[in-house]
Amino acid sequence: MLKMEYVLISKYQFTKMKKLNSNQTILIVDDTKENIEILLELLKNNDVIPAIDGNTALQIVKKEKIDLILLDIMMPIMDGFEVCRILKQDPKTAKIPIIFLSSKSTMEDMQIGFNLGAVDYITKPFNPLELEARVKTHLELKQYQDSLEDKVKEEIEKNRIKDQLLFQTSKQAEIGELLMHIAHQWKQPLSELGSINIYNIAKLKTTGDIDNETLLDSFEKTTRIIDFMADTMHTFQNYYKPDDKEENFHIYEAITEAINLISATYSYYHIKINIHKNFDPIIHGNKNEYSQVILSLLNNVKDIFLLRDIKQKQIDIKIEKGDKSIVSIKDNAGGIKLENIDDIFSPFVSDKNSFGMGLYMSRNIIEKQKGTISARNFENGAIFTIVL
């Protein structure tokens, strides 16, 4: 049992006594020592810290983890209302529940107390059983609140780590797609370089000589091809470079940039793509990220075409403008084979039995730009719609 001498001895000694158990901590603030003694006895099963004035109470709250405050109102220098006001204005102490314990019993006083943020108001003289019950209730609520906040923080941290892993996995998938697109872009130029070399070697073997005009023509062709390959690499490098800049951009331009990156791959797999444009809306946002969403959708459709071995592969992109810009991407790949189509935008879920990270990241990007992306089945395929 904590007696009155603990009010008078040093804070260091009191803290040592307090650490003998791990109960929740109650701060009693009252300028009458007899009242403190009664409360110490009544609440002896808890950790209790007494303070005989408002300034001392504020100092204790800065140094100790307080779970509940029993606060008298009528105190010299600083009354309980002012102490409560100071505590509630500080984010570090605002969540500590405060019960006013006072002989001031008018409705006006109670209203002031609750308006300041108190969770309860008990008038003196109090019923010990009632006080114990109320203190127990508010301590349990505080414990539940702390536990809930810890769980929320834990889940936020888990989601942060999960998003980082998803982002890393998505980037790895993008690298794989990037290498495939570069390979398809370079396939024809490399073939042309090989043909030039084979022709020159064959001429040397047959005639033993190459005239200057033929040699210069070969140099010009190889230079042109190498420049094209360098430009292709520069385009891919710029496209995948991180860019947080927001600007006004044309929807059509962002879409064509994505198509240019995938055009060689589409040509290789005989995928036809049509653009229907009645309007060319200008929107404000991150153009690079918007193009990445288009590319992700096109990559996803390409994978479905190949998985299902669709013969006549076709994609129609339609750009419309009303109150908002609307872009729809329609394919003839057989539709989405999920009971809940919206699940296709969830992480680790896709319609091709593989990770759906690209669509998950696409939804994040579009929602970050204050838009929506949705999918639905239509005739023999699916339609993805982006609204900004």
Query: For the segment 211-258, what is each residue's pLDDT rounded down to a tens digit?
Result: 888 888 888 888 887 877 777 676 666 655 666 788 899 999 989 888
**Cα–Cα distance between 168 and 174 in angstroms, integer?**
10
Q: Is residue 185 within 8 Å of residue 235, measured between CB atoms?
A: no
**Cα–Cα distance between 373 and 369 in angstroms, integer?**
11
How many CA atoms does the CB half-sphere of 19 hold within 13 Å? Answer: 7
Q: Is residue 314 within 8 Å of residue 331, measured between CB atoms?
A: yes
Please give the chain's pLDDT, 388 residues, in tens: 343 333 433 333 344 334 334 478 999 999 998 999 999 999 988 889 999 999 999 999 999 999 999 999 999 889 999 999 999 999 999 999 999 999 888 999 999 999 999 999 999 989 999 999 999 999 999 888 888 888 888 887 777 776 666 666 666 566 666 676 677 677 767 777 888 888 788 878 888 787 888 888 888 888 887 877 777 676 666 655 666 788 899 999 989 888 887 887 888 889 999 999 888 888 888 888 888 888 889 888 988 998 999 999 999 999 987 778 899 999 999 999 888 888 888 765 555 444 355 787 788 889 888 899 999 998 899 999 999 8
Residue 347: is the preceding peptide bond cis (ω within 30°)?
Answer: no
Q: For the chain, what percent of residues have pLDDT higher than 90?
A: 37
What tokens does 230 get?
């360098």
pTM: 0.49
